[in-house]
Amino acid sequence: MKIIGTGRAVPKHTVSNDMLSEFLDTSDEWIVPRTGIHTRQIITDETLQDLAIEASKKALADSGLEAKDIDFILCSNVANNYVTPAMSAFIQEATGCTCPFFDINGACAGFIYALDIADAYMHSGRAKNILIVAAEEVTKFCNWKQRETSVLFGDGAAAAVVSYDAEPMPVILTGDANYKDVITYRRKLEQTPFEQPDKAVNEAMILKGRDVFRMAVTCAKRDIKALLDKAGLQPSDIKYFMLHQANKRIVDAIQEHLEMPAEKFPTIIDHSGNTSSASVPLLIDETAEKGMINEGDLLLLDAFGAGFVTGAAIVKWGKKSK
């Protein structure tokens, strides 16, 4: 499978660490060395649907395809204001596509899970071109009185148009529900007259940051090595290692482990924060926009998230530099 177009859209409101310290007991001095985050974009009067649509239209235009050429729309999203219909319904309507669509929740690894589904559709002959969109507003899962979680996240949407390639995409997906408690966010639904109020529902995200950090580094090392072995490639064959932007220190740990130069591990977390499944496609689009990716380049994508799930894949850049 190859990527033939990308696009992104982020909220206009930029929030610095100093702005957070006006209402939270935190500081730039605490946040930067532990996470690498300086600023993040947070949704104010936009909707997540607006961002997902803008990113999709840009990716479609970048691919040179028309709406009628898209055979499927997959949207990766952990949660948004609409329980139903799926976010991908809004995307279909606004882009003028007429194909089927659905949303998936692969947590922060959702973009890689969507790529895997797309590759399977393509290799079963059911689709040639697929629009994948990752759109997340994680800042709305946080309790903004809790400095442990709220300083880490940002919002955004990014999209990629992917197209059939004769070689199946090398991919590794894993899940271990023994660790499902390291990141949880429970939402209240309507209460029926037939049940007692669920007092146990916690209305904001719970994040065991140190456990996530440890697991992220352990799993990424394991998955990247296994994926390279599976694909019969050396680290030097990969143009860029594009890791989920959860913490700059996690990226640094993987880079040091692989003994590859830091330039092969582009990051955006300094100005994006953690945008869940949108982080990898946001990173791809920003890197491509700088003219750093050329036709035929191999990108190794790696992400991890609540569940605990992980995903790693090697995709080909299928167009001239952006």
Asked whether position 183 contacts ligand ACO by CB under 6 A, the answer is yes
Chain residues 123-162 in contact with ligand ACO, contact rule CB under 6 A: 147-148, 151-152
- Residues 113, 173: Cα–Cα separation, whole Å: 8
Count of CA atoms in the C-beta half-sphere (13 A) of 95: 37
Catalytic, 257? Answer: no
Beta strands 14-16 and 171-175 are unpaired
Contacting residue, 43, 87, 227, 246, with ligand ACO by CB under 6 A:
246
List the catalytic residue out of 80, 97, 244, 247. 244
Q: Does 34 bind ligand ACO (CB under 6 A)?
A: yes
Between 210 and 320, whose beta carbon lies closer to ligand ACO? 210
Q: From the centroid of its chain, how far is CA 119?
A: 17
Distance from C-alpha of 290 to C-alpha of 285, rounded to nearest angstrom: 9
Active site residue 17: no
CB of 183 to ligand ACO, least distance (A): 5
Active-site residue, 219 included: no
As given in the structure block, the two tokens for residue 300 are 């190794």
Q: Does the protein bind ligand ACO through residue 269 (CB under 6 A)? A: no
CA 277 to chain centre: 2
- Say whether residue 108 binds ligand ACO (CB under 6 A): yes
- CA-CA-CA-CA torsion sign (178, 182, 183, 187): positive
- Cβ-proximal residue to ligand ACO, closest one: 209
What is residue 84's DSSP assignment? S
Among 9, 97, 131, 207, binds ligand ACO (CB under 6 A): 207
Q: How far apart are CA 288 and CA 315, in angstroms?
A: 14
Give the one residue of 48, 157, 212, 258 binding ligand ACO; rule: CB under 6 A.
212
CA 246/CA 243 separation, integer angstroms: 9
Is 36 among the residues that bind ligand ACO (CB under 6 A)? no
Residues taking part in catalysis: 108, 244, 274
Can you give the binding site for ligand ACO, defined by CB under 6 A? 26, 30-31, 34-35, 108, 147-148, 151-152, 183, 207, 209-210, 212-213, 246-247, 274, 304-305
